């Protein structure tokens, strides 16, 4: 992994993946007691930063591999990112999803042009099905984070952020990043090291699923005891990535941990003051930036995704009223 890979990914995705704005709001700053800048990746095509990694991975394939196609395991943002990129490249795309995934996620993934293969979580082995399909059709697996081209794609957020922060005069600030396996956080960290060394990544995770924070603190990869039980479903991963963890060990500050209540509150504040839609897992970095203690007077948060169903969002708003 090196910064040139991120620059190259940015060149490949130009015109296909959106440069998202860096937002702020005077009344939000007043409420937080500090200046809070928000990189709004919820406005990305497909509604999350995952379109970047998907595009980077698919566009880096050889013409032969692309013609055979790609496969991914995901019921959420990664599925949509890979499906979008594959369709635009004319590459066949198979997404393996559990048969009990929400119907809207299945239909959205199909709408992006992917072939959705359903499996039964209780009785079938996802990896075995994936391996069989990959072998039979010569599909390339696009991993959600532990892949150099995926990390490079997510790192393009960091290139944009370095430029946008400089435009508003920010030279030193923590950059909170919602963290599952660490693909986005590590990509941003590499880009910032190259282009804005006063900006330091800090991962943000939900309470009880803080494998990255504990891993960074202990120096070795720690596992989460469970994989469900937080509203932040998009970022519940078992353990930091093999590629991402060493990068973050070297470049990131201590990990932040956020309660579900603060994540919901951040969703509502983003609604009220920034007029953007965040899913709970996409709001933990903003929650850390707003509610964290001992922070400097300017902070940045990457708001990673906005694929939330209307009922969940309405419930969050109702509770705030």
Measure the CA–CA gap between 57 and 142, rounded to whole angstroms. 7
294 interacts with a second copy by CB under 8 A = no
User: Residue 291 or residue 313: which is nearer to a second copy going by CB?
Assistant: 313
User: Residue 119 or residue 271: which is nearer to a second copy going by CB?
Assistant: 271
Q: Which of 2, 4, 11, 30 binds a second copy (CB under 8 A)?
A: 30
Measure the CA–CA gap between 230 and 232, rounded to whole angstroms. 5
157 interacts with a second copy by CB under 8 A = no
Which span sits near a second copy by CB under 8 A: 19-27, 140-148, 185-193, 252-260?
19-27
CA-based end-to-end distance of the chain: 46
Q: Which of 108, 149, 154, 215 binds a second copy (CB under 8 A)?
A: 108
Burial class (CB in 10 A: 0-12, 13-18, 19+), 69: buried
Q: Which residues of 34-60 are buried (b: 16+ CB within 10 A; e: fewer)?
A: bbbbbbbbbbbbbbbbbbbbbbbbbbb
189 interacts with a second copy by CB under 8 A = no
Nearest to 179 by CA among 171, 168, 187: 187
Q: Which of 81, 206, 292, 306 binds a second copy (CB under 8 A)?
A: 306
Give how far Cα 219 sits from Cα of 212, 213, 222, 246, 254, Å.
10, 10, 9, 9, 11
14 interacts with a second copy by CB under 8 A = no
Task: Specify whether the CB–CB gap between 302 and 37 falls below 8 A.
Answer: no
Which span sits near a second copy by CB under 8 A: 39-47, 141-149, 195-203, 223-231?
39-47
Minimal distance in Å, beta carbon 226 to a second copy? 29
314 interacts with a second copy by CB under 8 A = yes
277 interacts with a second copy by CB under 8 A = yes
Q: Which of 2, 4, 11, 27 binds a second copy (CB under 8 A)?
A: 27
Minimal distance in Å, beta carbon 108 to a second copy? 7
User: Residue 115 or residue 146: which is nearer to a second copy going by CB?
Assistant: 115
Tokens 């130009």, residue located: 14
């Amino acid at each position: 992994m090196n910064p040139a890979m991120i620059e190259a990914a940015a060149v490949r995705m130009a015109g296909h993946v959106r440069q998202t704005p860096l937002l702020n709001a005077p009344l939000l700053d007043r409420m937080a007691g500090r200046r809070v800048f928000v990189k709004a990746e919820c406005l990305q095509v497909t509604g999350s930063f995952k379109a970047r990694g998907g595009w980077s991975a698919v566009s880096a394939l050889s013409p032969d591999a692309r013609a055979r196609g790609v496969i991914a395991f995901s019921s959420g943002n990664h599925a949509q990112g890979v499906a979008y990129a594959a369709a635009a490249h004319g590459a066949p795309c198979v997404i393996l999803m559990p048969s009990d995934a929400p119907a809207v996620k299945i239909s959205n993934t199909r709408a992006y042009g992917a072939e959705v293969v359903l499996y039964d979580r209780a009785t079938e082995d996802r990896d075995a099905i994936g391996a069989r399909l990959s072998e039979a059709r010569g599909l390339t697996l696009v991993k959600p984070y532990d892949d150099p081209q995926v990390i490079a794609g997510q790192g393009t957020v960091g290139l944009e952020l370095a430029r946008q922060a400089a435009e508003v005069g920010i030279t030193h600030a923590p950059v909170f990043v919602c963290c599952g396996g660490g693909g986005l956080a590590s990509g941003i960290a590499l880009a910032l090291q190259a282009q804005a060394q006063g900006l330091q990544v800090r991962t943000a995770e939900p309470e009880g699923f803080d494998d990255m924070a504990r891993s960074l603190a202990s120096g070795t990869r720690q596992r989460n005891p469970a994989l469900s039980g937080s509203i932040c479903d998009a970022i519940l991963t078992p353990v930091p990535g093999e590629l991402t963890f060493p990068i973050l060990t070297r470049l990131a500050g201590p990990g932040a941990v956020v309660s579900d209540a603060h994540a919901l509150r951040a969703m509502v504040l983003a609604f009220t003051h920034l007029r953007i839609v965040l899913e709970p897992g996409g709001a933990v970095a903003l929650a850390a930036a707003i509610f964290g203690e001992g922070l400097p007077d300017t902070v940045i948060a990457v708001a990673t995704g906005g694929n939330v169903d209307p009922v969940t969002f309405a419930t969050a708003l109702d509770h705030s009223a």
